[in-house]
Structure 1
């Protein structure tokens, strides 16, 4: 659901850009805690930056896999729910923002003047809705891995039509073409409920796969272990808390390598078989007549525009190579961003008063 240039007028686009910039600024501060605080877990905060970069690259790769949802219509992963559950909501907003920036600049996908709109719709709304639903469900359901997967499914499912409804709201405020908003809302939400099913399946399967291998790497699953119960006098009571033994640090290197290989295969090979049908927004825009306001993308002459490499005539090779370049660029840029966030935290102490090395700050700060 990449909004192109021309759908939303300049004032609303600028306002959305301001909101997106503010959300990114807040997320940078929150991500410092997620990447470097106690919630970084036994793997250590210094190892969470490349994992967050990998999540961004994986979202980029899976977004290339449009799947059919109705006659002549396709959909793709938005990724906000998946990123929030795997690496935290603040870091999740940054992950999706990095993906959208790379897509807009390198691949002419999603307008540059509409970048703020796309971050609001695909990065902020999806994360807020998904994380709220996820946390609510995990608080109500039994504290098991299965509950985490179920909550991931429902959260991802609801986040997509919520994003579609938010687009209609923005279009009501700044749409450049007169259209019946009631019918646009019904069409957008209807088709994106179907897309949400695909999003939910991808999210739940990915979270389940990581839980099966390294549950400690799933941000949304931390702290969900149920307390030990003892039967006393015929009643179940919580067992006294014991001092936890220090867990040996386990390198996430294998997970990182496996995730990167999977991303490269998806973007470089599987993407060739993705549906060529227009996605939900494109189809609704065409049916309702507001696609005529689309403006030519500012990087339409990019050598990677439309997910192909210029001057390579073989479609399979061109698309596959573009996908590989996109994954590589996203993981490098994403990891660099998250390392910078992490280093800023450890260097400044984030208000903790630390003037020394990052290890002391990470161990001592509860921020």
Structure 2
């Protein structure tokens, strides 16, 4: 999107100017925003609230409320148990998976939307360990992750290693002897985007297979998993996809691996003929074998609506605005003398901007009291999520002014100034 001139965000520049760019710059950017109308398609109960936490929980699409009402009032209350057949409830995890696949650059039949991200990680780590090693023989039960990896990814890897009598390795520099790597495409603290293709190849060359966590990437980046040679991926739908609190996550398996999937959670929705009650377990073909228990239809309905909203808006336009609005946020932060902890290269940055401050906990609390919602991560990070469908440039401008004012109340030694 076209942008008025902004202050430089180059690393070699002395960023601090002591004042913010004029608010009219943000107003011009909002006026030129091709996605501006989409904000009105979300519930805005408090128009004065500045919500910059869509990277943790996206706002509520109005269409989601209508979809939930239909499922509850017409399908559940009206059609009752026949809804499993009449309203496609039985196949909903795979139907929505096919819809989501377009946002991953993936083919139909490669994605299932069915359970929490943590369960999906647990499944795929076990799937990966059971895949034959490229050099022949069993894959070593050693799982590696970065020390700074998102907690649930680390915990899941440690739990799988315990169950498999394996081991974990905290660090990715040396992958010799590693069977599986778990890592995020977008760092949850800094928003730095990993070079997925290069890191996938590096792991493969070392004999390891990588499970990619796309939770902070899907719905804000224009993804093409086949072009990146991704074999296994997982992610959530409640961040940039606006699927609702605890909305089910998704799993992706590249087509060439479908016949080799052996997943650890066997249940009747993963059975080829699930109503042949006396049959031995015979896993469904393809991505369907990742299913297990009865899916949560209400959660799937909300996730589906959020996914549809993103598809309709267009992931290309969303990704372009994410780059523009985060670049603007960095420019304003620089002008105010704030410390930016996110990459300055837009191609290496996801949908949020991290600001580092020693008094982040207090600032976070006082921002909330002012009606500015951001996210705080210990020890010193404030994350400003700039969800393209709901965040205006003026929101970013105003939030950073509040943040800078509160930051000035902190003395250089980290204590609150009187």
Q: What is the TM-score of this pair, normalised by structure 2?
A: 0.23
* Larger-gyration structure (1/2): 2
Q: Which has the higher contact order (CA 8 A, sep 6+)?
A: 1
Q: What is the TM-score of this pair, normalised by structure 1?
A: 0.25
